[in-house]
Amino acid sequence: MSYVQRVIDAVKEKDPDQELFIQAVTEVLESLEPVLDAHPEYEANAILERIVEPERVVMFRVPWVDDNGKVQVNRGMRVQFNSAIGPYKGGLRLDPSVNLSMIKFLGFEQIFKNSLTTLPMGGAKGGSDFDPKGKSDMEVMRFCQSFMTELAKHIGADTDVPAGDIGTGGREIGYMFGQYKRLRNEFTGVLTGKGLQYGGSLARPEATGYGLVYLVEEHLKCNGESFEGKTVAVHGSGNVAIYAIQKVTQLGGKVVTCSDRKGWIYDPEGVDYEIVKQIKEVERGSLALYAERKAGAEYHEGDARGVWTIPCDIALPCAAQNTLFIEDAQTLVANGCKIVGEGANMPTTLDATKYLQANGVAFFPGKAANAGGVATSGLEMSQNSERLSWTFEEVDAKLKDIMVNIYHAADDAAKEYGVEGDFVAGANIAGFVKVADAMIAQGVC
């Protein structure tokens, strides 16, 4: 049995209930076979056994008082996965579905994603099963303050720098930053995605969506094409989706779909990102409102995977894990889709990914395609350290550079290890090698 298979089996045996984590580990490890064969030192140093085990997991109670004076209790956690190449870095997810398996999968992915950015950041993820939906601002604030009261003991600008993710946007980061500052009596860059008035970076809100589109644009460019005239299907309508829609539109493409948990939009004239932004970010409402505000647009209540039934050249899943299944992949291929770029983390199931790749679709995995968010978080950390702020154009140019580099790093690694065109393997290998070499250099730790 191969080294990879032994480690995957050991993970399954140790944590059989952690399905999302097992899925992420399987996807990464299986694609590392060629690099492990070429470099026996990785097995000799037990790199895989070490890399699948978080350096630290913190799990804690988050008590808070709701608007009716009733005490509520949520569970908070932070998985500090790997610090071989820099302080732990990664987002915080606030969603009722959050559990240890989910945060471990996200933290594991973050190790390789952060490595791909070329910036010095280790991998981490955290969050809580708290649901910000339907809560008042004051309830969200009290939750965030309580969450940070414990989390503050485990993070710091040179230790671990959390950021946003599903359910954690600018509002939540603001409340958490305020509480950290009170507790520590220090004003440091301990979180990214901060407001511009208190150390945030221009272009961080846009960065994940823009970065996704820059990476796909580079692929199109290398094949003598552009976004001009392309039809694009987007899944999701949150931070990543909104700015992906904006950038595709700016580059001459037409986004015809987007979605939330309750339904999806088909807008044959092209989705107006400003209307989506107003509904989802400002009003925190349902996408059903979109069809009332935009002539010609259809709202479909129900399973948002309906977006994959609309013919498109490029599909951008930007919502959540496991939202593009084998049947969706088959529909996309049958309708002529040529490119899938993951704005979300692991939105495509393993068999759907394999089907897309086997049918000639250029598939860009989240850890490469959505790395622009954390890369720009890294740029926010640099600006905080030098106590300066760069212009939007400077940050955007650096982001674009990073995404173009990631595309070529993944492409080159795939070529070097004999799997040309396989961007899943390319991204995993390129991200892995740097971390593995750093782990060897630092000894058994």
Between CA 99 and CA 119 the distance in angstroms is: 28
DSSP string, 357-416: HHTT-EEE-HHHHTHHHHHHHHHHHHHHHHT----HHHHHHHHHHHHHHHHHHHHHHHHH
Rg (CA), the chain: 21
Binding status of residue 240 toward ligand NDP by CB under 6 A:
yes
Q: Taking CB under 6 A as the rule, does residue 126 contact ligand NDP?
A: no
Cα 169 to Cα 223: distance, rounded to the nearest angstrom: 36
Residues touching ligand NDP: how many (CB under 6 A)? 25
By CB under 6 A, residue 74 contacts ligand 2IT: no
Cα dihedral across residues 286, 213, 108, 165: positive or negative: negative
Helix (H) or strand (E) holding 43: helix 40-44
Stretch that binds ligand 2IT, among 86-94, 142-150, 267-275, 313-321 (CB under 6 A): 86-94
| Among residues 165, 267, 342, 396, the one that binds ligand 2IT under rule CB under 6 A | 165
Which one of ligand NDP, ligand 2IT, none interacts with residue 76, CB within 5 to 8 A by kind?
none
From the list 30-38, 257-265, 398-406, 424-432, the region that binds ligand NDP by CB under 6 A is 257-265
The reply to whether 117 sits near ligand 2IT by the rule CB under 6 A is no
- 169 forms part of the interface with ligand 2IT (CB under 6 A): no
Q: For the window 362-381, what string marks contact with ligand 2IT as x by the rule CB under 6 A?
A: -----------xx--x----
125 catalytic per annotation: yes
Whether 321 contacts 20, CB under 8 Å = yes
Task: State the minimum distance, in angstroms, from the CB of residue 317 to ligand NDP.
Answer: 9
For residues 375 and 117, the answer to whether their CB atoms sit within 8 Å is yes
Q: Is 280 in the site for ligand NDP (CB under 6 A)?
A: yes
Q: What are phi and psi of 414, to 5 degrees?
A: -65, -40
- Site residues for ligand NDP, window 382-441 (CB under 6 A)? none
Residue where the block lists tokens 């209790």: 73
Q: Which of 27, 139, 160, 165 binds ligand NDP (CB under 6 A)?
A: 165
Active-site residue identified among 89, 104, 113, 125: 125
Residue 23 carries which side chain, given as an amino acid letter?
A: Q
Active site residues: 125
> Would you tell me which residues interact with ligand 2IT (CB under 6 A)?
89-91, 113, 163, 165, 192, 345, 373-374, 377
